[in-house]
Amino acid sequence: MRKEKTKFMAAALALTVSAGALMGCGKASSGSDIASVSTDNLSFPLQEKVTITGTISYPSGTESEPNNRTIFKRLEEETNVHVDWTAISSDQWGDKIQLNMANKNALTDFVFNASFGNSDLIRYADQGVIISLEDYIDNNMPNLKGVFDKYPEYRTMCTDSEGHIWALPWIEQLGSNKTAIQTVGNNFTYINKKWLDFLGLSTPTTVDEFEQVLKAFKDHASELQAEFGIEGDIIPMSCIMNDQDPSLLINGFGEGYGDNDIGQHIAVTNDKKVICTATQEGFKSGFRWLHKLYEEGLIDPECFTQDWSTYVAKGKSHRYGVCFTWDVANIDNLQDFVPLAALQADTKNVTPLNSSFTSGFDRGRCVVTAKCENPALVCAWLDKMYDPFQSPQNNWGTYGEDDEFDIFELSTNDQGEKMLKHAALGDASPVEVREAECVGGPLAILDEYYGKYVTCPDDAQYRLDWIKEYYTNDMHNEYVYPNVFMTAEDTEKLTSIQQDLITYINSSRSKFVMDGLSDADWEAYLNQVNAYGIDEYLAIYQKYFDEFYK
């Protein structure tokens, strides 16, 4: 029923567009009408230039006009397709894209960096705002179809319960299973080796040793400031609670599940049972220990309120003894810090992040709207993003830029074919450099591309090496929750529960660190979690996990 409804809406919108009632209807200022372009035996560049319309986000503080980015300039030359962009700063994206999708006059042919969740996709599909893409993928997108044919699990993860694909994915393979780069997220733990060496301390391996190291950082603050010319207070440990936070540190308490998945708070036991990590005894013990550290003045008191820019600014002043993030180069520097392996408490364990075993995946990265007059043409252009040489550029950046730094140099592989070679990052922040050059959007980077189309980025390689060296051997969980596409009914139920449940759990986590956690507090907390529907919440997840592993 959903497909028929969507086709009807698409037809209705197309008639409205042709009547001239909508603005920005996807026609070139000079050249062909997009609707008149035949997609039979389509090849790029087109004989006549056409204009399509797209909506895109861009990192705040970077180039706001997408067509000024080298990547899109080259794509226009290669395809003879001009994109009239509606560009929205990433810090305003959440609110503005919702408003745009609700207003048919604001719709463009496609949304490039949508990153819509399951509930978004299902809602927009039911409203007839977006169209299903499985037929266009099979007929007009040979690059993406090739990825799906080789890795059918990605097609499965993109397909809803009725057999429809409502969005184009972002896929980034870097390692697999317990060595995948996403198994440890923004709670990757880094410790200041320079401070350890200066104070004659060994890298801690237990929670007790860790606490003593933090105390040493605090007690010898003035010596550290004098030795290393540090301005500002020494901060033994800093983080952003419920984001770049110390979740990994408590993996050794109790049963060893920790609470790494702060978006869902679930894990899968080795007997294939979905559990809530935030209701385990190890969670209680772990947060009691974190409160002890906080009471002793070892945790940054601003960790509950500081934003990313503040967190980074203090890190760049070299004030941290321990911090948590995806890559410490974004916070301080690689020379002074080393990863901290899982700490021994009651046990020693690292719970890998859910969905991480299939590497990076975003089901809802790009959608085509019902306003689009020629979806086959738009999909054919979007398929260029899945070209093995194009995808790495969209993801990381490009070569030949007229600026101070290029992510890539144009090189050749062992067969003499062109290949993108990552340039050395030096002291540059990987995030800042990439944000200045990349465009994101739908793409696919497969493990077999490395060494053929692109080199593995230095920061990804050392992170992959660190995961193997510091964490993989302590990943005793055999399963992570897979990336599944739930029905509209179950998505609605889950979303309804999550709105209150996740907010309550995350606010409680901060409260437990600040105020402590008595037995009475724990009992009241569990009662409230139950009242928010934790049993139904887990039952929904369990149902789809069981279906996935049939």
Whole-number Å distance between alpha carbons of 233 and 217: 11
Helix 488-515 with 118-126: angle, nearest 10 deg: 150
Domains 2-173+362-406+439-444 and 189-351+486-548 share a fold: yes
**CA–CA distances in Å: residue 89 to residues 55, 59, 60, 279, 446:** 11, 6, 5, 37, 29
Report the pLDDT value the prediction gives residue 4, as an integer from 0 to 100: 41
Backbone angles phi, psi at 113, to 5 degrees: -115, 45
> What is the mean predicted confidence (pLDDT) over 313-324?
97
- CA 85 to chain CA mean position, Å: 23
- pLDDT tier at 342, thresholds 50, 70, 90: very high
Residue-by-residue DSSP string for 254-268: TTS-TT--TTT-EEE
Q: Among the CATH numbers 2.130.10.10, 3.90.220.20, 2.70.210.12, 3.40.190.10, which is that of 189-351+486-548?
A: 3.40.190.10
pLDDT at 438: 94
In this structure, what are the phi and psi dihedrals at residue 40, rounded to the nearest 5 degrees? -70, 125
Q: Give the pLDDT score at 550.
A: 78
- pLDDT for residue 50: 96
Short-list 423, 374, 427, CA closest to 401: 423
The candidate with the shortest Cα–Cα distance to 425, out of 392, 466, 395, 458, is 458
Q: What is the pLDDT of residues 502-513, one digit of tens each?
A: 999 999 999 999
Residue 109 reports pLDDT greater than 70 = yes
- The full set of domain ranges for the chain reads 2-173+362-406+439-444, 189-351+486-548
Residue 428's pLDDT band (boundaries 50, 70, 90)?
Answer: confident
Who has greater pLDDT, 29 or 396?
396
Give, for 56, the enclosing helix (H) or strand (E).
strand 50-58
- CA 3 vs CA 117, 131, 165: distances in Å: 19, 8, 10
- What is the DSSP annotation of 61-109? TS---GGGSHHHHHHHHHH-EEEEEEEEEGGGHHHHHHHHHT-GGG--S
pLDDT band at 320 (very low <50, low <70, confident <90, very high): very high
Residue 30 confidence (pLDDT) above 50: no
Class of domain 2-173+362-406+439-444: alpha beta
Helix (H) or strand (E) holding 125: helix 118-126
Q: What is the pLDDT of residues 265-274, one digit of tens each?
A: 999 999 999 9
Give yes or no for a contact between 455 and 421, defined as CB atoms under 8 angstroms apart. Answer: yes
Closest CA to 366 of 57, 148, 68: 57
Strands 50-58 and 81-89: parallel
**Dist CA 80 CA 30 (whole Å):** 12
Region 517-531 average pLDDT: 98
As to burial, measured by CB atoms within 10 angstroms (0-12 exposed, 13-18 middle, 19+ buried), residue 229 is: exposed
Angle at 76 between CA 73 and CA 79, to 5 degrees: 150
pLDDT bracket for residue 32 (50, 70, 90): low
Is residue 357 a contact partner of residue 177, using CB atoms and an 8 Å limit? yes
The whole-number pLDDT of residue 23 equals: 34
CA neighbor of 440 nearest in space, from 384, 375, 391, 402: 391
Q: Give me the mean pLDDT over the 354-375 stretch.
A: 93
Mean pLDDT for 75-90 is: 97
The stretch 176-180 carries a mean pLDDT of 90
pTM for this entry: 0.77
Mean local confidence (pLDDT), 149-174: 93
Return the bridge partners of 443, or none.
Answer: 170
How does strand 320-324 pair with strand 189-192? antiparallel
Strands, E, within 220-302: which ranges? 235-237, 266-268, 274-276
In whole angstroms, what is the distance from residue 232 CA to residue 248 CA? 27
Peptide bond into 45 cis (omega under 30): yes
pLDDT at residue number 31: 42
**pLDDT higher than threshold 70 for residue 187:** yes
12 pLDDT exceeds 60?
no
- How far is residue 259 CA from its own chain's centroid? 18
- The span from the CA of 51 to the CA of 352, in Å, is 44
| Residues with Cβ within 8 Å of residue 223, at least 6 apart in sequence | 198, 199
Reading the block at residue 181, the tokens are 């780069």
Bridging pattern class, strands 418-422 and 408-412 = antiparallel
Average pLDDT (330-348) is: 96
Rounded CA gap, 237 and 468, in Å? 24
pLDDT at 273: 98
Indicate if the pLDDT at residue 289 is higher than 60.
yes
Tell me which range, 17-26, 304-313, 429-438, is most confidently predicted by mean pLDDT: 304-313
Can you give the pLDDT at residue 95?
Answer: 93
Contact 191, 338 (CB under 8 A): yes
Say yes or no to pLDDT of 479 above 60: yes
CA 57, 63, 66, 69 torsion-angle sign: negative
Quote the pLDDT of residue 19: 34
Ranges assigned E (strand) in 350-402 = 360-368
Beta carbons of 346 and 256 less than 8 angstroms apart: yes
Query: Could you give the CA distance from residue 4 to residue 90 in angstroms, rounded to a whole number?
Result: 34
